[in-house]
Amino acid sequence: MVVDTQNERPMHRIQLNKVGIKNLKTFFITERSGVRHHYIPTVELTIDLPADIKGIHMSRLVESMTEIISDEFSVHDSVEDLQIRILQALAERHLCTHGEVRFDFEFGYTSRTPASKKRTWEVCDVTATTIMEEGKPIRHSVEIQVIGNTVCPHCMANNEGLTHMQRAIGTLNVVGVTEQIPNYGDMIEVIEGSFSSRTYSLLKLEDEMYVTKKMHDNPLFVEDVCRNILQGAKEKFSVRTLEVSAEARSLESIHKHDVIAKGRIVTNGD
Amino acid sequence: MVVDTQNERPMHRIQLNKVGIKNLKTFFITERSGVRHHYIPTVELTIDLPADIKGIHMSRLVESMTEIISDEFSVHDSVEDLQIRILQALAERHLCTHGEVRFDFEFGYTSRTPASKKRTWEVCDVTATTIMEEGKPIRHSVEIQVIGNTVCPHCMANNEGLTHMQRAIGTLNVVGVTEQIPNYGDMIEVIEGSFSSRTYSLLKLEDEMYVTKKMHDNPLFVEDVCRNILQGAKEKFSVRTLEVSAEARSLESIHKHDVIAKGRIVTNGD
Amino acid sequence: MVVDTQNERPMHRIQLNKVGIKNLKTFFITERSGVRHHYIPTVELTIDLPADIKGIHMSRLVESMTEIISDEFSVHDSVEDLQIRILQALAERHLCTHGEVRFDFEFGYTSRTPASKKRTWEVCDVTATTIMEEGKPIRHSVEIQVIGNTVCPHCMANNEGLTHMQRAIGTLNVVGVTEQIPNYGDMIEVIEGSFSSRTYSLLKLEDEMYVTKKMHDNPLFVEDVCRNILQGAKEKFSVRTLEVSAEARSLESIHKHDVIAKGRIVTNGD
Amino acid sequence: MVVDTQNERPMHRIQLNKVGIKNLKTFFITERSGVRHHYIPTVELTIDLPADIKGIHMSRLVESMTEIISDEFSVHDSVEDLQIRILQALAERHLCTHGEVRFDFEFGYTSRTPASKKRTWEVCDVTATTIMEEGKPIRHSVEIQVIGNTVCPHCMANNEGLTHMQRAIGTLNVVGVTEQIPNYGDMIEVIEGSFSSRTYSLLKLEDEMYVTKKMHDNPLFVEDVCRNILQGAKEKFSVRTLEVSAEARSLESIHKHDVIAKGRIVTNGD
Express each pLDDT in B181-200 by its tens digit.
999 999 999 999 999 999 99
pLDDT > 80? residue A70: no
Task: Give the pLDDT score at A148.
Answer: 98
The answer to whether A254 contacts D203, with C-beta atoms less than 8 Å apart, is yes
pLDDT over 70 percentage in chain B: 98
Provide the b/e sequence for C55-66 (b: ≥16 CB within 10 Å).
bbebbbbbbbbb
- Nearest residue in chain B measured CA to CA from A2: B158
Inter-chain residue contact B203 with C254, CB threshold 8 Å:
yes
SS3 A203: coil
Smallest Cα distance from C242 to chain A, Å: 31
Q: What does the pLDDT read at residue C80?
A: 96
CB within 8 Å: C257 and D227: no
SS3 C223: helix
Are the CB atoms for D259 and D251 separated by under 8 Å? no
Dump pLDDT digits (tens) for A186-235. 999 999 999 999 999 999 999 999 999 999 999 999 999 999 999 999 99
Quote the mean pLDDT of chain A: 94
pLDDT tens digits along C37-86: 889 999 999 999 999 999 999 999 999 998 898 766 689 999 999 999 99
pLDDT exceeds 80 at position D86: yes
Judged by CB atoms within 8 Å, which residues 129-148 of C form the interface with D? none
Cβ of C159 within 8 Å of Cβ of B212? The answer is yes
pLDDT for A72: 60
Please indicate whether, in this complex, the C-beta atoms of A162 and D251 are within 8 angstroms of each other.
Answer: no
Looking at residue D71, its pLDDT comes to: 66
Give per-residue pLDDT as tens, B28-72.
999 988 888 889 999 999 999 999 999 999 999 999 998 898 766
Enumerate the residues of chain A whose CB falls inside 8 A of the CB of residue D213: 159, 162
Q: Is A143 helix (H, G, I), strand (E, B) or coil?
A: strand
Give the contacts of A35 (CB within 8 A, at least 6 positions apart): none
Which pLDDT value is given to residue A225? 98
Cross-chain residue pair D257–C24, CB shorter than 8 Å: yes
Average pLDDT, chain D: 94
Nearest CA in chain C to D248: C19
Q: What percent of chain C shows pLDDT beyond 70? A: 98
Query: What is A103-270's CATH topology?
Result: Urate Oxidase (3.10.270)
Q: What is the DSSP letter of B255?
A: S
Reported confidence tier of residue A94, pLDDT bands at 50, 70, 90: confident
Residues of C in contact with D3 (CB under 8 A): 154, 157-158
- A51 touches B at CB < 8 Å: no
Distance from the B160 Cα atom to the nearest Cα atom in chain A, whole angstroms = 11
Chain C residues within 8 A of A40 when measuring between CB atoms: 38, 40, 106, 108, 123
pLDDT class of C175 with cuts at 50, 70, 90: very high
Q: What is the pLDDT of residues A167-200, one digit of tens each?
A: 999 999 999 999 999 999 999 999 999 999 999 9
Mean pLDDT (whole number) for C21-28: 95
Strand partners of residue A112: A119
Q: Smallest Cα–Cα separation from C126: which of C194, C42, C215?
A: C42
Give the number of other Cβ atoms within 10 Å of residue A210's Cβ: 19
pLDDT reported for residue A32: 83
Question: Within an 8 Å CB–CB cutoff, is residue C263 touching chain D?
Answer: yes
* pLDDT at A221 (0 to 100): 98
Q: Is the pLDDT of residue A140 over 80?
A: yes
Q: Do C21 and D258 make contact, defined as CB atoms within 8 angstroms?
A: yes
Q: Check whether D101 has a pLDDT greater than 80.
A: yes
pLDDT above 80 (res D73): no
Identify the band that residue D214 occupies on the pLDDT scale cut at 50, 70 and 90: very high
Task: Please tell me if residue C157 touches chain B, with a CB cutoff of 8 Å.
Answer: no
- Which fold, B104-270? Urate Oxidase (3.10.270)
The pLDDT value given to residue C71: 66
Residues of chain A with Cβ-Cβ distance to C169 below 8 Å are none
Instruction: Give me the residues paired with residue A104 across strands.
Output: A42, A127
pLDDT at residue D152 in the model: 97
User: What distance in Å separates residue B54's CA from the closest CA in chain D?
Assistant: 17
Nearest by Cα to D205 from D111, D118, D121 = D118
Q: Which amino acid, D52?
A: D
According to DSSP, residue B220 is labeled B
Asked if D136 and D204 count as a contact pair (C-beta separation under 8 A), the reply is no
**Residue A200: phi, psi to the nearest 5?**
-140, 150
> What pLDDT does residue B71 have?
66
Q: What residues of chain A, 211 to 230, have a C-beta less than 8 Å from chain B?
A: 221-224, 226-228, 230
Contact criterion met (CB < 8 Å) for B211 and C147: no
Delimit the domains of chain B by residue range: 1-96, 104-270
Closest chain B residue to C253, measured at CA: B167
Nearest to A223 among B24, B49, B222 (CB): B49
The answer, for B256 touching chain A at a CB cutoff of 8 Å, is: yes
Q: Which residues contact C56 (CB under 8 A, 6 or more apart)?
A: C6, C19, C20, C47, C49, C94, D223
Interchain CB contact of D164 with C (< 8 Å): no
Task: Kindly list the strands in the beta sheet with B28-32, ordered across the sheet, starting from the edge strand earlier in the chain.
Answer: B35-39, B28-32, B75-76
B203 confidence band (pLDDT: 50, 70, 90): very high
Q: Do C23 and D257 touch (CB under 8 A)?
A: yes
| Helix (H) / strand (E) containing C155 | helix C153-158
Q: Work out the pLDDT band at A269, boundaries 50, 70, 90.
A: low
Contact residues, chain D, for A123 at CB < 8 Å:
256
Read off the pLDDT of each residue in D79-106 and give the average, rounded to a whole number.
Answer: 93
Neighbours of chain C (3+ CB pairs under 8 A): A, B, D
Residues of C in contact with A71 (CB under 8 A): 119
Q: Do A10 and B231 touch (CB under 8 A)?
A: no
Beta-carbon contacts of residue B47 (< 8 Å; ≥ 6 apart): B18, B19, B20, B56, B61, B90, B94, B96, B98, B99, B100
Size of interface A-B (CB pairs under 8 A): 158
Which chains lie within 8 Å of chain B at 3 or more CB pairs, if any?
Answer: A, C, D
Q: Which positions ≥6 away from B120 have C-beta within 8 Å?
A: B110, B111, B112, B113, B200, B201, B202, D66
Inter-chain touch C256–B199, beta carbons under 8 Å: yes
Regarding an ipTM greater than 0.85, the answer is yes
User: How many contacts (CB atoms, under 8 Å) link A and C?
Assistant: 78
B 167-186 → A contacts, CB under 8 A: none
- Chain C, 110-129: which have a CB under 8 Å from a chain A CB? 110, 118-121, 123
Query: Are B12 and A228 a contacting pair at CB < 8 A?
Result: yes
| Mutation target among C60, C173, C221 for the D interface, most CBs of D within 10 A | C221
Determine if the pTM surpasses 0.80: yes
pLDDT at residue C77, as a whole number: 92
Please tell me which residue, B142 or A270, carries the higher pLDDT value. Answer: B142
Q: Which of A158, A167, A209 sits opposite D159 (nearest CB)?
A: A209
Under 8 Å between Cβ of D24 and D42? yes
Q: Which residues of D touch A211 (CB under 8 A)?
A: 164, 254
Residue of chain B minimizing CA distance to A21:
B259
CA closest to A201 among chain D residues = D255
Decide if A254 and D212 are in contact by the 8 Å CB cutoff: yes
Question: Residue C109 above 90 pLDDT?
Answer: yes
Question: Is there a contact between C265 and D230 if contact means CB atoms under 8 Å apart?
Answer: no
Fold of D107-270: Urate Oxidase (3.10.270)
B63 neighbourhood in chain D, CB within 8 Å? 118, 202, 204
Determine how many CB atoms are found less than 10 A away from the CB of residue D213. 14
